Amino acid sequence: MSVAVLGGGAFGTALAVALSQRGPVTLWCRAPAQADDMANRRVNERYLPGCTLPADLTITADLTAAADAKILLLAVPMQQLGRFARDEASHLDGKILVACCKGMDLRSGAGPVETLAQHCPTARVALLTGPSFARDIARGLPTGLTLACADAGLGETLQHQLATPALRLYRTTDVIGATLGGALKNVMAIACGATIGAGLGESARASILTRGFAEMQRLALLKGAVPQTLAGLSGFGDLVLTCTSEQSRNYRFGLAIGRDEAFDASMTVEGAATAQAAARLAQREGIDLPITSAVAGLVEKRLDVAQAMDALLSRTLKEE
């Protein structure tokens, strides 16, 4: 089946490079000047410098042409996905859509699959998520990801259509678990970055990571997720990667908060809005997500790291 990737950032470009090994791929970028530059120079200088784009990868700013493919992968940041899907529904509805972003929409609280389904009611929608840095995928390094699709048959088809020799896909029908694992691990990465940035130590980070995992499970299981999904690549796997690597933008954003340094506002940091959306959801649901709330407080500048850590440490002692 023909494949197009919509979104010419780091991840979209990396996926297009990897999938080009399997057959013809089209990469759509919204800015015509960027598409022309990438097509001519065979590199995405802004988002994925140093990675040569294969000669047979088609790069275009023409969405009508790109959306002609059978499978459309959407690698647009979460907070832009709803507007993009609404504005471009005529190109997307009725197609097979694979959301490749992580997070919760700040206004609706929905994840990527729900957001796409709202705007494109006749599309068949899946989610590709898990521990993977764009640069690793583009270099062809071994990577394991989760392909989540409520329709088991379509999920199996996509698993086989999108796997490559280096990109090993596991499938699940638990879209809620894969969505919330991928969304909330970025919140925990901000918390872990802030912990290290403020000089609070690696022991503290291990506690934040572990108790953060407990929060991810608490919210996801409440929403109907399967525990195994949270323990898998899309949950625990991505949590470990993102909370321990300076390649992660969410972790680096946390580091900057902890060091009281400025951070490039144009950078995609999905965990910031997701922390706010998840904290609101937890309040509505009446559950306690103290690390998520602390990260929302840091993002909204209501708290500094010392106050956030005080709030966590002064809670009543409890069973693990």
User: Is residue 111 involved in binding ligand NAI (CB under 6 A)?
Assistant: no
Tell me how far apart the alpha carbons of residues 218 and 285 are, in angstroms, rounded to a whole number: 11
223 is catalytic: no
Q: How many CA atoms lie within 13 A of 242 on its CB side?
A: 36
149 binds, among ligand 13P, ligand NAI, none (CB under 5 to 8 A by kind): none
Site for ligand 13P in 171-210 (CB under 6 A): 186, 189
Distance of closest approach, residue 291 Cβ to ligand 13P, in angstroms:
16
User: Is residue 146 involved in binding ligand 13P (CB under 6 A)?
Assistant: no
Q: Which stretch, 58-66, 72-80, 150-158, 209-217, contacts ligand NAI (CB under 6 A)?
A: 72-80
Look up residue 140 and give its DSSP letter.
Answer: T
Q: Which residue has the tokens 């400025």?
A: 262
10 binds, among ligand NAI, ligand 13P, none (CB under 5 to 8 A by kind): ligand NAI
Name the token pair of 221.
């299981």
User: Is residue 85 involved in binding ligand NAI (CB under 6 A)?
Assistant: no
Strand spans (E) along the chain: 3-6, 25-28, 43-44, 48-52, 57-60, 71-74, 96-99, 124-129, 143-148, 167-172
- 3-state SS of the chain: helix, strand, coil percent to 5? 50, 15, 35
Look up residue 233 and give its DSSP letter.
Answer: I
User: Is residue 185 involved in binding ligand NAI (CB under 6 A)?
Assistant: no
Catalytic residues: 185
Which residues contact ligand NAI by CB under 6 A? 7-12, 30, 47, 75-78, 80, 83-84, 100-103, 132-134, 268, 270
Which residues contact ligand 13P by CB under 6 A? 102, 131-133, 186, 189, 238, 241-242, 248-250, 270
